[in-house]
């Protein structure tokens, strides 16, 4: 059933043994050179390298994986809950960060986008199949993802959750300090003198949604402000969600709004303009994420920056660390955020 080998002995179908013969050394020596191991004489190493160079030899990934019990492939799972993969550009960006980090570390990224809850069942055995993945990244932080996480935990496969999961004591994850970041974002608005600061939150079944709201509340209460429930409206991390949330908020007459994501801030600002109000003069804004879209609009968005690139990098590095050093105690990494002051908060006008 194997395809008939045509004319060619293509470069890529050469084996270690072939290279060894061409370089006049043994398979083992070539293997050492390929894997940059010591104990090869310099001239020999160079000779082998030359042969590899001219032939364009590439080691066979499957053979290497079988022999070394390492596939050099990481899995990334997007659970069904991450259907805003399509509505919040944050996810594509994060995905890019992860993909790039994998490249840099010479890992291949396998992508498991779970379309439906049933798909999760189907994907699970695939992910836990030996010889395919060295470790798994799960983009999560949603309440519905507990099951898949504990599945993965049971399978004893190195695992990093990207975003804090609901139960996290026994799993490694990476996140930013959402509470504190939001606290600072709202604090910034308070320092600028705004009196009626509203917020558009994320959904309450996500840790991100919960934490950012918590930071908002904390900022107000710690400085003795009263919480006005009418100033808190739930969004869903979509632009449209932000738009409608803002429409509701408008009746409570806020003078500033902290939106839990840039994309919601953009939707909300559109609602403000549609209502004939000006930003930041009538209503000031602070967003969250600092995606490129934050600067696309006329009014550049003041926002809490989290470096998605760094987020991706660190997730991958944590996972690789887990794979290579296999510690059993879960690691929790919290990345920094930084307030980026642009136009929409009104800070510049007040200087």
Partner DNA sequence: TTCAATTATGAGAGCGCTCCCATAATTATA
Partner DNA sequence: TATAATTATGGGAGCGCTCTCATAATTGAA
Match 């908060």 to its residue by tokens.
Answer: 345
Whole-angstrom CA distances from 129 to 70, 163, 235, 347 are 13, 25, 38, 54
CB of 5 to DNA, least distance (A): 10
Provide the H-helix boundaries in the chain.
16-23, 27-34, 42-55, 61-68, 90-104, 117-128, 146-154, 178-191, 207-222, 239-250, 262-274, 308-325, 347-350
Looking at the Cβ atoms of 111 and 195, the one nearer to a copy of itself is 111
Q: How many residues bind DNA (CB under 7 A)?
A: 32
User: 9, 10, 28, 221: which one contacts DNA (CB under 7 A)?
Assistant: 28
Q: What is the CA radius of gyration of the chain?
A: 26
Looking at the Cβ atoms of 8 and 43, the one nearer to a copy of itself is 8
User: Which residues on adjacent β-strands are paired with residue 176?
Assistant: 335
Residue 141 near residue 165 (C-beta atoms within 8 A): yes
Residue 32 interacts with DNA (CB under 7 A)? yes
Looking at the Cβ atoms of 20 and 174, the one nearer to DNA is 20
Residue 13 interacts with DNA (CB under 7 A)? yes
Whole-angstrom CA distances from 342 to 70, 187, 222, 279, 324 are 47, 16, 26, 12, 42
Residue 29 touches which member of DNA, a copy of itself, none, C-beta under 5-8 Å by kind: DNA
Query: Would you call the peptide bond into 168 cis, given omega within 30 degrees of 0 as the criterion?
Result: no
Residues recorded for the chain: 351
Residues at the interface with a copy of itself (CB under 8 A)? 2-3, 8, 10, 12-13, 58-66, 69, 71, 73, 76, 85-87, 89, 91-93, 95-96, 99-100, 103, 106, 108-113, 115, 119, 122-123, 125-126, 128-132, 155-156, 238-240, 270, 273-274, 291-293, 296-297, 326
Query: Rounded to 5 degrees, what are φ and ψ at 232?
Result: -115, 115
Residue 277 touches which member of DNA, a copy of itself, none, C-beta under 5-8 Å by kind: none
CB of 39 to DNA, least distance (A): 3
Query: Rounded to 5 degrees, what are φ and ψ at 286?
Result: -130, 130
Instruction: Report the C-alpha gap between 190 and 117 in whole angstroms.
Output: 42
User: 15, 83, 146, 307: which one contacts DNA (CB under 7 A)?
Assistant: 15
Looking at the Cβ atoms of 2 and 350, the one nearer to a copy of itself is 2
Segment 115 to 154, residues that bind DNA, using CB under 7 A? 130-131
CB of 193 to a copy of itself, least distance (A): 29
CB of 171 to a copy of itself, least distance (A): 18
Residue 40 interacts with DNA (CB under 7 A)? yes
Residue 296 near residue 272 (C-beta atoms within 8 A): no
DSSP state of 145: G
- Residue span binding DNA (CB under 7 A) among the ranges 20-28, 179-187, 253-261, 336-344: 20-28
CB of 269 to a copy of itself, least distance (A): 11
**Residue 152 falls in which region: left (phi positive, over 0), alpha (psi -120 to 50) or beta:** alpha
Instruction: Report the C-alpha gap between 224 and 6 in whole angstroms.
Output: 79
Residue 35 touches which member of DNA, a copy of itself, none, C-beta under 5-8 Å by kind: DNA
CB of 224 to a copy of itself, least distance (A): 40
Residue 193 touches which member of DNA, a copy of itself, none, C-beta under 5-8 Å by kind: none
Give CA 248 to chain center in angstroms. 31
Binding mask 65-104 for DNA (x = CB under 7 A): -xxxx-----------------------------------
- The residues binding DNA (CB under 7 A) are 1-2, 13-17, 24-29, 31-32, 34-35, 38-41, 44, 59-60, 63-64, 66-69, 130-131
């Amino acid at each position: 059933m194997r395809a008939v080998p045509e004319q060619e002995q293509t470069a890529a179908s050469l084996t270690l043994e072939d290279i060894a013969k061409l370089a006049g050394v043994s398979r083992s020596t070539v293997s050492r050179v390929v894997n940059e191991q010591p104990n090869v004489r310099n001239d020999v190493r160079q000779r082998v390298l030359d042969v590899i160079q001219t032939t364009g030899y590439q080691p066979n990934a499957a053979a290497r994986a079988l022999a070394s019990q390492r596939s050099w492939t990481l899995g990334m799972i997007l659970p069904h809950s991450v259907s805003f993969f399509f509505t919040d550009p944050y996810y594509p960006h994060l995905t890019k960060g992860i993909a790039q980090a994998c490249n840099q570390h010479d890992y291949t990224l396998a992508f498991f986008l779970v379309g439906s809850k049933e798909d999760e069942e189907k994907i699970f055995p695939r992910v836990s199949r030996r010889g395919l993945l060295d470790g798994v990244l799960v983009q999560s932080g949603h309440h519905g993802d507990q099951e898949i996480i504990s599945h993965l935990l049971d399978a004893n496969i190195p695992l990093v959750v990207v975003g804090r999961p609901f139960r996290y004591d026994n799993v490694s994850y990476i996140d930013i300090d959402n509470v504190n970041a939001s606290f600072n974002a709202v604090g910034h608005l308070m320092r600028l003198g705004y009196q009626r600061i509203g917020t558009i939150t994320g959904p309450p079944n996500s840790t991100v949604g919960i934490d950012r709201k918590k930071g908002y509340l904390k900022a107000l209460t710690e400085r003795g402000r009263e919480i006005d429930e009418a100033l808190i409206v739930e969004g869903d991390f979509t632009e449209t969600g932000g738009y409608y949330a803002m429409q509701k908020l408008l009746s409570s007459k806020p003078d500033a709004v902290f939106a839990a994501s840039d994309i919601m801030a953009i939707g909300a600002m559109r609602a403000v303009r549609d209502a004939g109000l000006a930003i930041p003069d009538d209503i000031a804004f602070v967003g969250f994420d600092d995606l490129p879209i934050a600067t696309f609009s006329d009014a550049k968005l003041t926002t809490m920056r989290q470096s998605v690139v760094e987020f991706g990098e660190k997730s991958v590095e944590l996972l690789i660390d887990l794979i290579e050093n296999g510690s059993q105690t879960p690691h929790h990494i919290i990345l920094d955020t930084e307030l980026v002051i642009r136009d929409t908060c009104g800070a510049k006008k007040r200087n």
